[in-house]
Structure 1
């Protein structure tokens, strides 16, 4: 009997994946012997977020994905608010992040995103006290205004005068990288400038995040093999990891030098303090050991939380606003009310963070953008003990539970038949105030005890940036530019957001 050649094996695999992608029952992946629904997953991985939304819409908000036999890849995907509330709040103790999450996100170390139990509670308590400190809020206001005034506005003026096409997503990534680095470490990377300099730390973050996403789509044995061989996404992850560690170590070293010379103390009394300074100088009554490893993990977790999520949210927000002129017009009218009457409301203005919280329609438009395009498009948990969810689905420790946050905003059962429309009005009450939506329905900032501690920081920065751009500039997407979500743990645009920027006022 002749041996099967490699080309024949390759053709067979391609044919199998092709058939696996199309063979489905009522629009859901076919459950094949041995490999389960894995073929369908690989076939649609390039549009996994929309695929998940379509499947969950057809299956009543909850769907059991059957992975390959013996690989522990069975996953229950759910957007059912009752299930989300049960897992994230009422039975929170039975659903930690779990060991599987920690393995996939090992680059984050023992930071707050990976931590469970006592370690997580202590880190969250300490983090909240730092972020809620008036010194940090003074620093946030100063850093945000300075970066918009001295970084963003000069860049947009230059682009407008040159008539150049620019990737606005790249601009926002640079902006939030600078501000987050300042807020977390106290150092300005000056990534946002006319020269568009290469920043290895930012590139390393993107490579690491993409590799972590692909770990979710592969059996653990396979991605561990790729890591051992040092190829593919795992090679990028290893290289990016080294860059992150090296850069963070430099920040910690520079901060220690500043503290030893008393430089930081002179600044913080007037301007407030960055988080790294607070972690290294304040008394820690909680019992956490703030050594080099702790500081490294904390800095990286905060950098990802601040830089990636805010830039993603701004990118999708401006795309949606650029497609909806009526929404843009309403935002502009409201923004003018934040300008003091003694100043020219029909002229250039750079907005401070104070006063923007009163802009109801702007806040509503941002919530609506976050509903449709959440920066973190999915989350997952793992039960400690077998359990039965409110939907009646049984779960056990060998099964991962996925929350496709991107899909939640597209469920007619949750948001109504107009769920795919961009309608800021759905967030405004009859009294003209922001309408509260429960976090287990609006899941962009997590829910329950793990609700994002940086939520207000994110809104503060986004409003200052959005108000300044929308009031002073007109943003128009380049004709023919195709917009689609990328494949990563952070929801960016796959091909960037190519636009032209023009001034609305002279000077």
Structure 2
């Protein structure tokens, strides 16, 4: 009897029974041609699950057909009702006009529990205090100097020599993996003041990076199921939740060791962020200080490591399909005599208008964070006419917004850096509620300038020295993750460019 009870309560059986029910209902209603069918009892969940493998493009089609906003109905009593929107008017209202009514909320912090009480999960006074501190550090002259120095050293002392070796060996290489290694090292340098040297020729295993990838995939799946379901999986320690638990242990161990080493050096750094944060914890209880430092650095690592690597990967894939853009970037480098062997200065990078425009265009089509999640405090009606209430989740689909004709024009699916350049040859400003890659309003990304410095430095150095050819037949598609990584990486062949 005991063994039978154990079998009946096993999560595998529960999953099997639920799958059978969903399959039955799906087959019964599958002849309907709507992109999103509202089934009895279980709402739109079956259609979501049957399309989750290509959620980004399917979601874009759904929002396009729905006029930029759609009320997703989850199963009864699941708290899965979601307003999905990519309407710029809604986004401006949510992120700017009535910002206070749309916090991240309790459910967001539960889904992203791995980030603790850090800035991404916080609202109210906690968020304001953390943002003020982070802004002061990132805007400081010393940090800016440290950023330029460390980025230049990473690009020209490690990344370029590695690419030269790969070019000589004529090997195929996963460019996404290289960018993840670069951004991991660069972020560790800025946050902890240490260089993990993951760009070493032997490509050492980076347990933190693998753990973060597993965590982001698990968190993505939390969005596609009722909260009680993933919480049950977490309690039973099965499936993706099991991976997330183990990933968190790996990341916590890495961060704890980094904090201890920094404390042993009396918190001294060359401009890294952790040294400043440790100074703020001198009067705190040890346990409280450790938790604050852990949550803060975890948030900073996520912000720096994943987003920049994802942006660079999609950018080089787009260049491989649009060689005329690459040629224009090369011409711009030559125009300012920046196709030289030594490092490019920050002042010189600032002159690269076309390169900046090309990066913005890539971010428009492939934003590293493809959707945002908001809660609701008080009931009201959005500019789209949709009524929102407390308990409703709002999903802002950034990926879809870049693909809407009514937002970006009939050529919105084309990669055209020129749309970002004015008739006078200057960068054209687009409102952040239309171009949401760096968030919008009071929560605008503090690391925007850091990201552009790193991306411009990498792109200028690589393009002026190498041809990057994507392997023929390589399948490129988004990974199911909170960050828009490529599912299969980006396999390329590196060839050195002849200098004329």
Per the alignment, residue 120 of structure 1 pairs with 127
Give 3-state SS (helix, strand or coil) of 1:222's partner. Answer: helix
Say whether residues 1:304 and 2:297 are aligned partners: no
Per the alignment, residue 3 of structure 1 pairs with none
Per the alignment, residue 185 of structure 1 pairs with 192
Contact 1:23 1:29 in 2 (8 A): no
After superposition, where does 1:102-501 map in structure 2 within 5 Å?
Answer: 102-259=109-266, 264=268, 268=270, 273-281=271-279, 291-339=289-337, 345=339, 348-501=341-494
Shift of the alpha carbon at 1:380? 1.0
Shift of the alpha carbon at 1:152? 0.5
Q: 2 CA distance for matches of 1:46 and 1:380? A: 20
Shift of the alpha carbon at 1:391? 0.9
Give 3-state SS (helix, strand or coil) of 1:358's partner. Answer: coil
Structure 1's 17 and 338: CA in aligned 2 closer, same or farther, altered over 3 A?
farther
Per the alignment, residue 24 of structure 2 pairs with 16
Q: 1 CA distance for matches of 2:260 and 2:28? A: 52
Say whether residues 1:87 and 2:94 are aligned partners: yes
Query: Runs of 5+ in structure 2 lacking a partner?
Result: 1-12
RMSD: 2.1
Structure 1's 276 and 62: CA in aligned 2 closer, same or farther, altered over 3 A?
same
Contact 1:191 1:199 in 2 (8 A): yes
Contact 1:21 1:29 in 2 (8 A): no
For each residue in 1:64-98, what CA deviation from the matched residue of structure 2 results, as whole angstroms up to 9, or x when unmatched? 11000100101001111110000101001111000
Q: 2 CA distance for matches of 1:215 and 1:312? A: 21
Contact 2:22 2:46 in 1 (8 A): no
Q: 2 CA distance for matches of 1:462 and 1:116? A: 30
After superposition, where does 1:53-64 map in structure 2 within 5 Å?
Answer: 53-64=60-71
Contact 1:145 1:353 in 2 (8 A): no
Query: Runs of 5+ in structure 1 lacking a partner?
Result: 1-5
Structure 1's 8 and 146: CA in aligned 2 closer, same or farther, altered over 3 A?
closer
For each residue in 1:199-224, what CA deviation from the matched residue of structure 2 results, as whole angstroms up to 9, or x when unmatched? 11111111111111100001011101
Give 3-state SS (helix, strand or coil) of 1:193's partner. Answer: coil
Structure 1's 420 and 8: CA in aligned 2 closer, same or farther, altered over 3 A?
closer
Q: 1 CA distance for matches of 2:274 and 2:31? A: 53
Contact 1:21 1:44 in 2 (8 A): no
Shift of the alpha carbon at 1:337? 2.9
Contact 1:353 1:461 in 2 (8 A): no
For each residue in 1:419-455, what CA deviation from the matched residue of structure 2 results, as whole angstroms up to 9, or x when unmatched? 1100000000011101000000001110010000000
TM-score by length of 1: 0.92
Shift of the alpha carbon at 1:335? 1.4
- How many equivalent pairs are there? 484
Q: 2 CA distance for matches of 1:477 and 1:425? A: 24
Structure 1's 43 and 132: CA in aligned 2 closer, same or farther, altered over 3 A?
same
Contact 2:372 2:398 in 1 (8 A): yes
Give 3-state SS (helix, strand or coil) of 1:130's partner. Answer: helix
TM-score by length of 2: 0.93
Contact 2:83 2:393 in 1 (8 A): yes
Shift of the alpha carbon at 1:10? 8.1
Q: 2 CA distance for matches of 1:239 and 1:352? A: 42
Give 3-state SS (helix, strand or coil) of 2:464's partner. Answer: helix
